[in-house]
Amino acid sequence: MKANLLLVGTLVLGVSVFISGRAPAAVYDNVTTGFYDYVVNDVTDTWSGSDITVTNDQSVASGADSSGTLALSNTTMTVGNQWRLAADGANATANVTLTDSSVTAPTAGVGGLYAGSGSAGVATLTMTRSTNVINRYLSAAANGSFTLNMTDSRIAATYYLAVMNLGNATVTMTNSSIRWARDQGGDQRTYQSSFIGINTGPVTLNVRAGSSFIVENNHNAGDRLSFGYNENATANVEDSEFRWRKLVMGDQAGATGRIEAVRSAITAIASAKWEYIGDSGTGVILLNSSTGSFQTVSFGRGATGQGTLIANASSVSADGAYTFVGYAGAGQVTLTNRSSLTLGSGNSLHIGYEGGASGLLTLGNSTGTVNNAYVAFNSGSTGTVHLLPGSKLDVTNDFDMSTNGTPRLQLTLAGTSAGQFGRITVGGGVQLAGALEVLLDGYTPSVGDKWSILTGASAVDGTFDDVTSGYQVNYLSDGFEVEVIPEPGTLVLLVTAGLALWGYRRRR
């Protein structure tokens, strides 16, 4: 059927509605048509090779208990205001398929995509080689659920006040992009916060096979990408990229934001402001053969926050002013399997910062580099650096453990050869305090074994307050070494045996 139709008014397709010769479940080929409102209720409406203009809203399954299916193939649809999928009536179900097509909501105001917003509404959008350009809002599953499947497709925002709110949603991207970003044309830095994992249920993002998920929020001080606001949010990123300007993971207490990356880039945009990994909730980043680039990053930002980064065969960097492992809450950064942590010039590393905070930095056969800055264990907090075999921490400036808190240096030893213990090099001064704890990894030390742990310092002040029994610290002008000494009980046995032998010889 080929026709050129221009309709003005409201078009509602349904069981009892039939307008201008158009039938439910029909295919409209090579059609150019215009509507004020275009509503698809309780029908399957299929378009192929068409151009559709909707002045106001386009809705699929807008009434209570309604269902609607809309399929666009090689079709362009322009929506003047809102594109609404199961967004109004309770228990509505909307299924929309785009193939080689585009849907655009270009105007300012409140235009955009609203999906699964009706009570218990279910919306599914499947895109193949298609584009959805949204004016302002991507609001999904305010009260229902939303499933988005994208293959070789793109969703982008065009308005500087663009917002993305996702709750109870599953998004799967294959060689596709969701970009709330400046490079979409014009001033596209979104000036408001976006919330992934809000109000109605958890969100899962599957970002795969060359895909990119980018949200750039940078205007007002509190604007951010909140990943795991008051519901859980998980991003599985594989051979793809995940980027932000200001990021909060685990925003509110009880919520968890989690990013798992494999062969991917988890990256702050160059002029990013900050990252809170575990603000009042929990933030977790797992990197496997990936890169993680941050600015001023805090792990465990709030007093109840828990922030964790685990990197395996990965590189991690931070180029802001500070890196806090445990700002006011609990922070943990672990690098294994030849991973690297590089802090840019002036980015100082704090292991535990505010009173009550706890921080743990673990290097396992990995390297940490602090360029033109210092490492500090702060007052009132508990901070630990754990060096496993084969690890190295390079600090350009000072290494300061002098604090009213509880600083601790842990050493895991697997032998005395290079690569069997961890080392620290310091270009500035060293202030020692707190505890030195020695752990063993399949190794039985002998009295007199030594390890040169810290070298290169311009001066060494202070001593450890507590050292694992059986070891002593030899303090040097530019560092210190750890040596095995006889246990006190062993010394008593040796002295007793010696006296007994001396007395036996005297009696003879």
Please give the DSSP secondary-structure letter assigned to residue 346.
Answer: T
Say if residue 154 is in the same domain as residue 181. no
Please give the DSSP secondary-structure letter assigned to residue 217.
Answer: B
pLDDT by residue (tens digit) across 215-254?
Answer: 876 555 667 889 999 999 999 999 999 998 889 999 999 9
Q: Does residue 363 sit within a domain?
A: yes
pLDDT by residue (tens digit) across 264-288?
Answer: 999 998 766 789 999 999 999 999 9
Amino acid 218: pLDDT: 58
DSSP 3-26: ------SEEEEBTTB--TT--TT-
Say if residue 203 is in the same domain as residue 98. no
Say if residue 416 is in the same domain as residue 404. yes
Q: Does residue 471 sit within a domain?
A: yes
Say if residue 72 is in the same domain as residue 95. yes
Say if residue 347 is in the same domain as residue 393. yes
Which of 238, 263, 294 corresponds to the end of one domain? 294
Q: Does residue 416 sit within a domain?
A: yes
Say if residue 168 is in the same domain as residue 119. no
Residue 184, φ and ψ in degrees, nearest 5: -80, -5
Say if residue 340 is in the same domain as residue 213. no
> Which residue did the predictor score with more confidence, 158 or 280?
280
Q: Does residue 504 sit in helix, strand or coil?
A: helix
Say if residue 336 is in the same domain as residue 485. yes
For residue 80, the one-letter residue type is: G
E strand spans, 42-183? 44-48, 51-54, 58-60, 67-73, 76-79, 82-85, 93-99, 102-105, 112-115, 122-128, 131-134, 137-140, 145-151, 154-157, 163-166, 169-174, 177-180
Q: Does residue 237 sit within a domain?
A: yes
Say if residue 288 is in the same domain as residue 331. no
* Residue 189, pLDDT above cutoff 90: no
* Residue 115, pLDDT above cutoff 60: yes
Average pLDDT of the segment spanning 70-83? 91
Amino acid 502: pLDDT: 40
* Residue 135, pLDDT above cutoff 70: no
Rounded to 5 degrees, what angle do the CA atoms 341, 366, 428 make?
60
In angstroms, the CA 252 to CA 269 distance is 24
Q: Does residue 197 sit within a domain?
A: yes
Residue 495, φ and ψ in degrees, nearest 5: -65, -45
Q: Which residue has the tokens 């980064």?
A: 309
Amino acid 134: pLDDT: 78
* Residue 27, pLDDT above cutoff 70: no
For residue 262, the one-letter residue type is: V
Lowest mean pLDDT among 40-54, 144-158, 177-191: 177-191
Q: Does residue 303 sit within a domain?
A: yes
The answer to whether 140 touches 118, Cβ cutoff 8 Å, is: no
The answer to whether 235 touches 264, Cβ cutoff 8 Å, is: no
What is the helix (H) or strand (E) element at residue 284, kind and residue range?
Answer: strand 282-288
Query: What range does the domain containing 123 cover?
Result: 1-159
Amino acid 167: pLDDT: 80
Amino acid 184: pLDDT: 46
Say if residue 458 is in the same domain as residue 335. yes
In angstroms, the CA 116 to CA 169 distance is 9
Q: How far is CA 246 from CA 251, 287, 471, in A?
A: 12, 19, 46
Q: Does residue 508 sit within a domain?
A: no
pLDDT by residue (tens digit) across 339-393?
Answer: 999 998 888 999 999 888 999 999 999 999 988 778 888 878 899 999 999 999 9
Q: How confident is the model at residue 490 (pLDDT cuts 50, 70, 90)?
A: low
Amino acid 491: pLDDT: 43
Q: Which of 374, 363, 350, 280 is nearest to 316 (CA)?
A: 363
Q: Which residue has the tokens 């989690």?
A: 258
For the whole model, what pTM was predicted? Answer: 0.89
Q: Does residue 310 sit within a domain?
A: yes
pLDDT by residue (tens digit) across 393-418?
Answer: 999 999 999 877 889 999 999 999 99
Q: Does residue 168 sit in helix, strand or coil?
A: coil
Domain count for the chain, please give it. Answer: 3
Which of 115, 136, 159 corresponds to the end of one domain? 159
Say if residue 139 is in the same domain as residue 277. no
Which of 269, 294, 319 corresponds to the end of one domain? 294
Average pLDDT in the chain: 84
Say if residue 36 is in the same domain as residue 130. yes
* Residue 5, pLDDT above cutoff 90: no
